[in-house]
Structures are given as structure tokens and as C-alpha cells.
Structure 1
Amino acid sequence: MTVSRRAFGLGSAVVLALAAAPALAQSTLSAEDQAVLRRAQTYLTGLTSAQGTFVETGPNNQRRAGRFWLQRPGKMRFEYTDPAGLLVVADGSNVSRWDPRLNVFRQAPLGQTPLSTFLAREVRLDQGVRIDRVTRMDSGAFAITARDARRPNEGSVILAFAGSPMRLQEWTITDAQGSRTRVQLTTLQPASGLAANLFQLRDPTRRARRD
């Protein structure tokens, strides 16, 4: 079954933003800008196990909150606490989304989703995405504006990083229709010994059908 990015609903904003990080270091970028891209690549590749919280603001100023866990390669969990119950989980092989309010479960192979790029053992910043702009600030903070080089009209993402200490702070997705979704990482910290069941999600609708 092929599942589009949009099919993952609320979770797609997080998935698409992180996956858009791989970026083409174009010849039009200055040496300073290319150095910033290399810093971002090193940081993202080093983010092998982490956890945190986020707030998502949608196109109509809808605010949603949640928690996330990351374990590279291949595993991630987005758990929405508002609205409660919504889950997006990558288990190393598949990406699954469960919305209990609608009683809808969807699943796609990890390799067929943009999340696979971010969850690879090594994040590459030299292929796959067109860089529109690198914005550097005196504080050391910076932002990278990128879009899919193969589908440039589908929208763009702005990834914003703090400079000292370096940290991914937020991203803003603009889709093909110009609608924006902003995700702010309110906390982000390294994590160790994450439980294996965080990255497991079985289809709850199958159990309901058996009952």
C-alpha cells in the first residue's frame, strides 16, 4: 500500500520538516553558508537518541502539543497530548499513524516516507533538496530554507537552530497552497535507555474487529 505524506495528517508536519533537512550544498551558496550546512549535518547526525516536547501551530492558529522520542537508525515516536491519543510511530521498518478519534490506522514502509532520510544512520546535507536561503545571525543562530529539488512546487521548510549551544529549535512548513505549520521544540535533550515499546504500534482496529 502506498501512503502519501498527507495521509499521516497532523504528524506529517513533523515528519516532513525533519526529512527536509538533507540539503543540496549548491555552488551559489557562500563558503560561510556551506559551513553552516556542514554544522547542521554534523549536529543532526549526532542526534542519535533524544526526547522532548513540542507545540504545533497550524494554518488556522490551531495549537497542538505533544512529546517525541528518537532513536537512530530508524525509530521515532510522536505522541500528541493535545489532541490526546494521536500517535505517529516509526519502528525501523514501517511508519504507522493511529487516530483514535476517527478510529483510523494507516501504515507505510519507512523507506517510502520522507522520514527515512532523517532516521538514516547518517544524515546527508549534500543531496536531494534545494537550498533557497541560509540566514545567519550575530548570536550564532541560523535558519535554513529548503525545498524538495524534485518537487519544488510542493512547498518549503525553514529549519531554525540556536547557535550556542547549538540546538534545533523549530521548523515552519509552507505547503503548495501557501498554508503554514510551525513546530516549536519546547524541550530537546539527549536520552538513553529508551524502552523498546515506545517504537511499537500495532493496529488497534484489528483487535476491535476480532472482538
Structure 2
Amino acid sequence: MTLSRRDLGFGLAAIAGLTALPAAAQSTLSAEDRATLAQAQTYLQALTSAQGSFVETGAGGQRRQGRFYLQRPGKMRFEYTDPAGLLVVSDGDNVKRYDPRLNVFRQVPLGATPLSTFLARNVRLDQGVRIDRVTRMQSGAFAITARDQRRPNEGSVILAFAGNPMRLQEWTITDAQGARTRTQLTTLTPAPSLAASLFRLTDPTRRPGRN
């Protein structure tokens, strides 16, 4: 079963949605824009193991929150405290989602999802991604607006970074219908010793002896 970005239920998939496109997509960027992109790429590449908390605000104003864990390559976990129990986990091979309210479990190969790009060993923003806008502030903060050039009408994502010290602060997804979902990282810290169990999720809906 295919998991869409909406199915995945969190904004990190938008980062991963910056999939490989022809390098010509960068041809209209200024030298300063390219330097800013290189700065963001270096930061994301160094973000190999981290944890933190997030608040997600949907188009209708509904709010979700929880904690996230990241261990590249291949592994991540978003666990929601509101709504309680909702989980999205990548174990390096598959992306799995469990909603206890509906008792629904889904999974799809990681390589078949946009998450595979962000969780790859090498993160690239300097080739293939269509960048619509790079906005810089005097404080050193900046934002990158991007979309998939092959499917430009499917929406866009804005990645916002603090400048000093540099930190990924939030991202905003605008879908094909114009609905916006904003995810704010209220905390983000390095986490060099994450437990392997965080990135394991078995199907809770399966009963013993069930095929």
C-alpha cells in the first residue's frame, strides 16, 4: 500500500521530497543563493543523529505534537503525544505507520518513499531540486522554497533555518490544493546514542497464528 506525505502525517517527508531532478533546475540561482544552499546542505548532511520535539499545525488550525528521533542513514521515528500513540518509523528498509485509534498499520519500502532522499547517507540540495526562492534575513536566518520540477503543481515546501547558531527551525508544506501544514521544531539536539529499539516497529494488529 502506498503511503503519501499526508499518510505519513508529518512534515519531515517534505524535506525528503526534494528528490533528484536535472541539475539545470539550479541554473537561475545567483551565486549567493547557491552559497546558501550549500550551507543548508552541509548542515543537513551533518545531522546524522538527533532528537527533539515538534508542533505541527494543519490547514484548519488543528495542532499535533510529539517527539522525533533521527539516525542516518535510513532510520527515523516520529511519535505523537497528541494524538497519542500515532507512530511513523523507518527502520532502514521500510517506512511503517501505526494509528492506534483506527488500529491500522501500513508499511512501504523506504526506497519507494521520498524519505529515502533525506535519510540517505549523502544529502544533496545542490543538484536536481527546483528552488523557487532563497530568502535571507539580516540576522543570518534564511528560508528555501522548493518544489518538484517534474510535478510543480503538486505543491511546495519552505525550509526555514536559524542563522546563529544555524539550526533547522521549521518547514511548511503547501499541497496541490493550497492547504498549508507547518511543522515547528521546538527542540533539536544531537543524540549520538539512540537506542536501536526506537527504529523497530512490528505490526500491532497481527494476532498470534494470524497469516
TM-score (norm 1): 0.93
Does structure 1 conserve the Cα–Cα contact (< 8 Å) formed by 2:18 and 2:114? no
1:36 has 2:36 as partner? yes
Distance across 2 between alignment mates of 1:209 and 1:179: 43
Alignment of 1:40-189 (within 5 A): 40-189=40-189
- 1:20 corresponds to which of 9, 17, 22: 17
> Could you say if the C-alpha distance between residues 118 and 96 of structure 1 is closer, same or farther in structure 2, counting changes exceeding 3 Å?
same
1:18 offset after TM fit, Å?
1.9
Does structure 2 conserve the Cα–Cα contact (< 8 Å) formed by 1:22 and 1:124? no
What CA deviation, in whole Å up to 9, does each residue of 1:177-198 have, x standing for no partner?
0000000000000001100010
Distance across 2 between alignment mates of 1:22 and 1:165: 27
Aligned residue in 2 for 1:5: 4
Secondary structure of 1:149's partner? coil
Does structure 2 conserve the Cα–Cα contact (< 8 Å) formed by 1:20 and 1:146? no
1:129 offset after TM fit, Å?
2.2
Letter of the 1:54 counterpart: F
Letter of the 2:4 counterpart: R
What is the total number of aligned residue pairs between the two structures? Answer: 207
1:208 offset after TM fit, Å?
7.1
> Could you say if the C-alpha distance between residues 158 and 6 of structure 1 is closer, same or farther in structure 2, counting changes exceeding 3 Å?
closer
Distance across 2 between alignment mates of 1:181 and 1:153: 17
Aligned residue in 2 for 1:190: 190
What CA deviation, in whole Å up to 9, does each residue of 1:65-121 have, x standing for no partner?
010000010000000000000000000000000000001001000000000000001
> Could you say if the C-alpha distance between residues 36 and 6 of structure 1 is closer, same or farther in structure 2, counting changes exceeding 3 Å?
closer
Letter of the 1:200 counterpart: R
1:127 offset after TM fit, Å?
2.8
Letter of the 1:14 counterpart: L
Letter of the 2:147 counterpart: R
1:9 offset after TM fit, Å?
4.5
Distance across 2 between alignment mates of 1:209 and 1:43: 47
Alignment of 1:195-210 (within 5 A): 195-207=195-207, 210=210
> Could you say if the C-alpha distance between residues 6 and 26 of structure 1 is closer, same or farther in structure 2, counting changes exceeding 3 Å?
closer
> Could you say if the C-alpha distance between residues 166 and 194 of structure 1 is closer, same or farther in structure 2, counting changes exceeding 3 Å?
same
TM-score (norm 2): 0.93
Distance across 2 between alignment mates of 1:83 and 1:208: 27
Higher helix share: 1
1:4 offset after TM fit, Å?
3.6
